[in-house]
Chain A
């Protein structure tokens, strides 16, 4: 589909908000797989005393996470996420894709970065 191309402020392209996209059953079940939820666990929000700790599922389904994810996607499509990606140690390809503001390009770059790195992929910290 041609809509995805050059979507910076693109008029035709639908505006994708990641909040809803990351709360779908597919994402929830992928993220909840033991190996994956272990990687996500250190990044979960804290709980107040006497309240249950949020897990991956409650996090993905919470409105506060949705808001953060939506903020992420609007920052990404405005092309301002490159520097942040660098902080997270993501490769230059991914960073420059993030700088274009094209979510599709960013996701593709992230996918090819992870496949070229597979095999030795225990460190994602």
Chain B
């Protein structure tokens, strides 16, 4: 892989991804983190347009299924990853550009990117993506503000080999979109009456099991329709239903109140995302220096370091 260019590392956090998508100009979607993966987890999130899986990249694993190299590539947006740190953005852009759902509005920027790059091969698509000024600046605006420029002599432990890939249904088949492969990986057909989430679940579960045994971190996020939009739509439907029937039942009332609470919860969540973003973008250096001065004046700095060393020793190496 070439140099990391001007791309920063970004966190695998649903707030970061949701805001990133908004910065691309996409409407009607958000990203939710999956804490568990049992049967009911998606019940409150449907429709789920795609999944983003973060895991530690193992150099030597072979693609589990055939890599698509045929004419399907003309229809599937698949881009080879040409720079390192862009993989989070690459995974989410790949899901969005292959998403064909009325809830999802790509907006001018991604529509342009798609139109422009569909005639290219995967490598050229990757280059086009990494050269997109809008996408790069949206991506970079999501990262923690760098306190200053410096070369980390040792790669920090969490940052090295993590990788994001996407899973989604395209034209009745399940695909894995991994920018480090030569093409999309075909996981086979989804039956007409089958929920694609039931097809992808065992694949992800077996993958998670491998990582859990090796104590490797992973993270799973879902690209879903804008929740607030869905709840508002449901309230509208309930209200017009009662209007048509000319009566209001307690059940409907309870349901509408439940939906309004969920909307409030979504609003609070978006506010929290904004707050976290302002923190991420904040330059904490003056705060840190002032705090260290205060601690130095009170002679609390050296003891603090001693304690920190003890704790670090107890935790053992690494």
* Chain B residues with CB below 8 A from A9, complex form: 153-154
In terms of DSSP, what is the predominant structure of the interface of chain A? helix
Q: Are B276 and A64 in contact (CB under 8 A)?
A: yes
Closest to B273 in A: A48
* Chain B residues with CB below 8 A from A46, complex form: 278, 282
Mark contacts of B155-194 with chain A using CB atoms, 8 A cut-off: 1 yes-contact digit, 0 otherwise. 0100000000000000000000000000000000000000
* Chain B residues with CB below 8 A from A17, complex form: 308, 312
Of B144, B152, B300, B312, the contact of A67 (CB 8 Å cutoff): B144
Q: Are A36 and B287 in contact (CB under 8 A)?
A: no
* Chain B residues with CB below 8 A from A108, complex form: 302
**C-alpha spacing A84/B289, complex, angstroms:** 10
The answer to whether A92 has its CB under 8 Å from any CB of chain B is: no
Q: Are A48 and B275 in contact (CB under 8 A)?
A: yes
Known contacts A103-B305, A111-B302, A45 near B278 by CB under 8 Å: yes
Of B156, B282, B294, the contact of A30 (CB 8 Å cutoff): B294
Q: Are A107 and B305 in contact (CB under 8 A)?
A: yes
We find that the number of chain A residues with CB closer than 8 angstroms to chain B is 61
Write the nearest CB–CB distance from B7 to chain A, whole angstroms: 17
Q: Are B287 and A104 in contact (CB under 8 A)?
A: no
Mark contacts of A41-73 with chain B using CB atoms, 8 A cut-off: 1 yes-contact digit, 0 otherwise. 011111110110010000100101101111110
Of B154, B295, B308, the contact of A20 (CB 8 Å cutoff): B308
Of A16, A31, A80, A85, the contact of B294 (CB 8 Å cutoff): A31
The answer to whether B151 has its CB under 8 Å from any CB of chain A is: yes
Q: Are A110 and B292 in contact (CB under 8 A)?
A: yes
* Partner-A contacts on B (CB < 8 A): 144-148, 150-154, 156, 271-272, 274-276, 278-280, 282, 284-302, 304-309, 311-313, 317
